[in-house]
């Protein structure tokens, strides 16, 4: 089972594309999307956890092999991957876990809480990000990721970022084609991001 965590603030087409690429590349049976409560490496999310969860659920509708988990939102506090993987192992002992990361996030792996334990709990699937070359074995080793436990997915994905989307939404600009339509409608109906002070973060 693939694990794709993030703030999903908001969830967008790049996230869904990364999940699809990882599913094919690593031969995954399904992908679990986990919106964080409070990300440890960045500013707090702009939208509340309950809205980000609902947007994730809307985004995966019609994708039978995609699921959404509220494990981090329910736990509250800072969302550490090691805690989430440990909880998933307890709850789903028969599942082999594959942690899906963009190379931009994976480069910070050595700064995570208990990175060695994370790499024991799950294999890592790295999806290349637009503008970044595929990681070399030496670069993986420098981040603390064991190259033999890493699956590299060298497939183009859309160049979409949450910060750019939040800026566009706050400015009233079109984000057509970058968000699942149901998520776009949810943002409009719940007036999210329009008065966002953290729009550029």
- Residue 46: which CATH number? 3.40.50.620
pLDDT of the residue at 147: 78
In a domain, 184, yes or no: no
**pLDDT band, very low/low/confident/very high, at 26 (cuts 50, 70, 90):** very high
Question: What's the Cα-to-Cα distance from 33 to each of 52, 111, 132, 133, 194, rounded to whole Å?
Answer: 11, 22, 23, 25, 25
In a domain, 114, yes or no: yes
Question: What's the Cα-to-Cα distance from 146 to each of 124, 135, 136, 140, rounded to whole Å?
Answer: 9, 12, 12, 7
In a domain, 191, yes or no: no
Q: Which of 27-41, 61-75, 167-181, 185-199 has the lowest mean pLDDT?
A: 185-199
In a domain, 172, yes or no: no
In a domain, 177, yes or no: no
pLDDT of the residue at 146: 80
**pLDDT band, very low/low/confident/very high, at 138 (cuts 50, 70, 90):** confident
pLDDT of the residue at 139: 87
Q: Higher confidence at residue 43 or residue 5?
A: 5
pLDDT of the residue at 195: 62
Dist. CA 42–CA 65, nearest whole Å: 29
Q: Answer whether residue 200 shows pLDDT above 70.
A: no
Tell me the pairing of strands 150-153 and 123-127.
parallel
In a domain, 106, yes or no: yes
Residue count (the chain): 201
In a domain, 21, yes or no: yes
In a domain, 182, yes or no: no
Q: Is 156 exposed, middle or buried (0-12, 13-18, 19+ CB in 10 A)?
A: exposed
Backbone phi and psi for residue 160, each to the nearest 5 degrees, phi listed first: -130, 135
Question: With a threshold of 0.75, does the pTM exceed it?
Answer: yes
The owner of tokens 């792996």 is 109
Which residue segment(s) compose the domain that 20 sits in? 2-160
Structural domains counted in the chain: 1
Dist. CA 171–CA 177, nearest whole Å: 17
């Amino acid at each position: 089972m693939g694990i794709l965590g993030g703030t999903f603030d908001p969830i967008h087409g790049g996230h869904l594309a990364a999940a699809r690429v990882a599913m094919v590349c690593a031969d995954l049976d399904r992908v679990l999307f986990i919106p964080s409560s409070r990300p440890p490496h960045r500013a707090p999310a702009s939208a509340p956890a309950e809205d980000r969860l609902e947007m994730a659920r809307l985004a995966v509708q019609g994708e039978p092999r995609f699921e959404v988990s509220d494990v981090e939102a329910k736990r509250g506090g800072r969302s550490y991957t090691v805690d989430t993987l440990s909880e998933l192992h307890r709850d789903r002992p028969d599942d082999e876990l594959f942690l899906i990361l963009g190379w931009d996030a994976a480069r910070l792996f050595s700064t995570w809480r208990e990175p060695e334990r994370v790499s024991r709990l799950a294999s890592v699937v790295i999806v290349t990000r637009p503008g970044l070359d595929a990681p070399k074995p030496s670069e993986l080793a420098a981040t603390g990721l064991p190259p033999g436990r890493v699956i590299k997915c060298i497939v183009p994905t859309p160049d979409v970022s949450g910060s750019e989307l939040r800026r566009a939404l706050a400015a009233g600009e079109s984000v057509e084609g970058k968000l699942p339509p149901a998520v776009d409608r949810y943002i409009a109906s719940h007036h999210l991001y329009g008065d966002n002070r953290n729009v550029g973060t």
